[in-house]
Structure 1
Amino acid sequence: MKVMNIVGARPNFMKVAPLHRAFSCYGDIESLIVHTGQHYDFQMSGIFFQQLYLPEPAYFLGINSGSHAQQTAGIMLEFEKILLMEKPDLVLVVGDVNSTLACALVAVKEHIPVVHVEAGLRSGDRKMPEEINRIMTDAIADHLFVTEQSAVDNLLKENIPASKIHFVGNVMIDSLLHCLKGLSVDQESAHLLSSGPGHILLTLHRPANVDELDGLVEIMAMIRKLTGLQKVIFPVHPRTLRSFELNGLLSHLRRIKNLEILAPQGYIEFLTLVKRASLVVTDSGGIQEETSFLQIPCITLRESTERPVTVEVGTNHLLPAWNAESVFELAKQILRGNCKKGRIPNLWDGSTAGRIVTILREKYINSYVCADKRQSSD
């Protein structure tokens, strides 16, 4: 069985790495990695291949940046060439980025089964491009592997046959545990970029938060308040940095006391910062999962979350109509110890990739072997 695993943006690498390792345990599976180039600089892409021990991609499409339409169309045109040449048995996509939808569309039109890992997540906000990517990919995928019960419920409501849906857990946690096990105390100290434990970690990149001047002004007001509670460490996403620069606010941001501004971090460096944090403030999806597993309090600055288990079971607090004062008040309560004690969601145990590969082998290899044996006996 030949499987093509699609990666494009930063979150994809952590999801594909454990799957590639699990596929590679079997001599009857050829696992190829295709990198679309959606994230293409070293800090957003190359460093993850190093830290997650991923092999060089079999193919690099080099699409780079552009509008959603340009990126999606460019990926489809280039991926079609590779697909027709390699003729894989399966195309595996993860998450909800443009690369996910683009490659799924090309595969399904060539009648190649599509596997969607992290399927069924819904925020209910169709202004998010990721939400559209999720809905459309799930509608055409042949196998949908989900991380939480809400995803199962969402897919059933959308009339996806139950036979296609598999509740297997979260491959992000597989990568998290794999990296933590290999991280010695000395390495952790070397990777730690803050002065020590007990900081607030901040990440922001959603267009709704960082694309407009009013939002950036509110972010700066929030940071000023949070730095009065603890040191704030802020690895700045390229999109966010560009927005601060274009609006003439970067120099003002750099002058805020008790704020440490960093470039985007590698996975191990970022995990170290999360582990040592007293609180994480974010608008990211994946960080909600990592903090819930690590039992670190998290405030998510969004109207909704596609990962409700992190709020219902984990350590995540959703702050829909947020402003600087509301974030400050909630952060103050959390740092005083007045916060919920979350628990790790079901099947987030580091074995998800193995469960996925077992199901796919049973469907595409073992079933054919059994059929061949029956035909031979006949």
Structure 2
Amino acid sequence: MPRSGLVTFLISVAFLIRCFQGQKTETSTSAESLMIDTTTESTKEEGAYIDMEIISIEVLPKIGNAVVLSWGKPLREYDLDWTYGVYYGENMQEALKEPKLTTKDLSAEVANLTFCTQYIFAVGVVDPASKRPHPARNVRTIGTLINELSPPEDLQVEFIPEKEPCLLIKWSASCPNIAEPLGYLVTVHEKNSPRMMLITHPFTTSVELAQTLRVVYGKSYDIKVATDVVGSQPTETVSFKVPHFLQPYKVRLTSRPEGAFVMYWREPFVPYFVDDFFYEVYVYPGRDLQGKAQIYATERPVFQFQGNQSEYTFMVGLRSGDGEFKSYLTDPVAINLLGENVTLSVS
């Protein structure tokens, strides 16, 4: 307790520089005496890590693999000369291990990221001389966009049996992250002919796309697709042979354990002027197409055959009831009891 008439001061001083707490000193001073009793208590601790809240983050749509982000700074510390570390990666462990770039600004642009990839971002105050990990908080996730030069994926061609034969060309965008509408070019070459068609698909942000094409019975076509951006890469070429008039198509064969073979096919477009029709299935033992075929009639696009050999070759065609119309046979397909089948070439 201070004595009467005396004044005792308790002075507490602490220095805070960049969140590092210095030594704390308490000094008791009496006005009556010049004696100073000083007690020093050192509590030097490593400063707490400051992580910043990302205010905005976006992908530059014209570039697709560059991210721009910005963060705030508390007003009470606005005059402090802080250095910020920008952390990012494809997973938490990679992203938060250490900052990949540092800046004194309140925003940054991260370029040359991988297209169509999800990234984790975080920002914190760092010491330029060290690379501290970022805690798993105040993180943001964002996905980069499609590479407009990349080839589309999963190109497929299907035949549509109509009065005027048609192909359905289907493909997928190389990435579902599409910020702005993108156009496509479908290139079609008719085999054994100088004829080439270039089809422009309308601009779209859709991921699954399709285009129809009028074709000629019996012709073969090479088809590929690319975006309409200069320098873009096309898909691999898909070749497709259009069935002949009245010809069945898309034959599929399976075998069963009891030794039976089952044949399926798609039915062609049959116009009104063709009389009642049926299908003729040709069955050859083994792969000998020079031998005598067994011919079976069926009205449905499925046929089951039970034989005594391990392998047979099958073909099918359409025939009108009055015999006036008879289609081309399908390509010969050989199949064994293991279900292994192969399309044979006919020269």
**TM range, smaller chain:** under 0.3
If the length of structure 1 is used for normalisation, what is the TM-score?
0.21
Q: Which has the higher contact order (CA 8 A, sep 6+)?
A: 1
State TM-score, norm by structure 2.
0.22
Q: Whose helix proportion is higher, 1 or 2?
A: 1
